[in-house]
Structure 1
Amino acid sequence: MTHILKHSKALLTRVRRITGQTQALEAALLEQTDCNLVLQQLAAIRGAINGLMAEVLDSYMREHLAAPDVSHESREQGMEQLSRVLHSYLK
């Protein structure tokens, strides 16, 4: 989990940006904004979430799977955890 701590400021910045986007989406829905603008906002949020997932995933793989000091057993456990998360994410 140290890799998350190393990048926590950048990750929190991304999460706060996503929070702002979801608040804008909520406001758009409350104001009954045009569907096109709502769809645009949804696409932006999805892209932001995917970007955040990719960043954390990349960090996870480098730290828990590809680092030279990771044991074979830890690497296998990491792969199993990663597989479960990816299956859940891609549903």
Structure 2
Amino acid sequence: MTHTVKDKQRLLARVRRIRGQVEAIERALESEAGCETVMHLIAAMRGATAGLMAVVVEAHVQNHLVDEAAHPGALDRDAAAQLLEIVRTYLK
């Protein structure tokens, strides 16, 4: 079972929150809200999307790159941790 299937409910909850944020952007634009408001909403949605990506990438690395039982000779955990830190920083 892939990690996205195993974590399906948690991931869907994040996606639903992102959908709510996109709908808030749409409502703000329809109501002709100021650009500052719209930019804050977009920034929040972007952060939530990046957070979702970080969770999926981290689970992918943990399940597919450093699981020695499933993948003999997999990356070493320290290298994976360094990679994940870089990815988290990039996605912020």
Q: Segments of 4+ in structure 1 off by > 6 A?
A: none
Cα deviation, residue 30, structure 1: 1.0
Once residues 8 and 21 of structure 1 are traced to their aligned partners in structure 2, the CA distance between those partners, rounded to angstroms, is: 20
Cα deviation, residue 6, structure 1: 1.1
Once residues 4 and 71 of structure 1 are traced to their aligned partners in structure 2, the CA distance between those partners, rounded to angstroms, is: 22
Cα deviation, residue 5, structure 1: 1.1
Once residues 70 and 27 of structure 1 are traced to their aligned partners in structure 2, the CA distance between those partners, rounded to angstroms, is: 47
- Name 1:35's counterpart in structure 2: 35
Cα shift readout 1:16-40 (whole Å, capped 9, x = no counterpart):
0000000110111111101111000
Cα shift readout 1:37-57 (whole Å, capped 9, x = no counterpart):
100000100100010000000
What is the 5 A alignment of 1:5-16? 5-16=5-16
Confirm whether residue 17 of structure 1 aligns to residue 54 of structure 2. no
Q: How many residues align?
A: 76
What is the 5 A alignment of 1:1-91? 2-68=2-68, 69-71=70-72
TM-score (norm 2): 0.75
Structure 1 vs Structure 2 CA RMSD = 2.0
Once residues 26 and 66 of structure 1 are traced to their aligned partners in structure 2, the CA distance between those partners, rounded to angstroms, is: 41
Identity of aligned residues (%): 42
Structure 2 stretches of 5 or more lacking a match?
Answer: 76-86
Mean CA deviation greater in 42-51 or 63-72? 63-72
If each structure's helix is expressed as a fraction of its own residues, which one has the higher value?
1
Cα deviation, residue 71, structure 1: 4.2
Mean CA deviation greater in 28-37 or 63-72? 63-72
Structure 1 stretches of 5 or more lacking a match?
Answer: 76-85
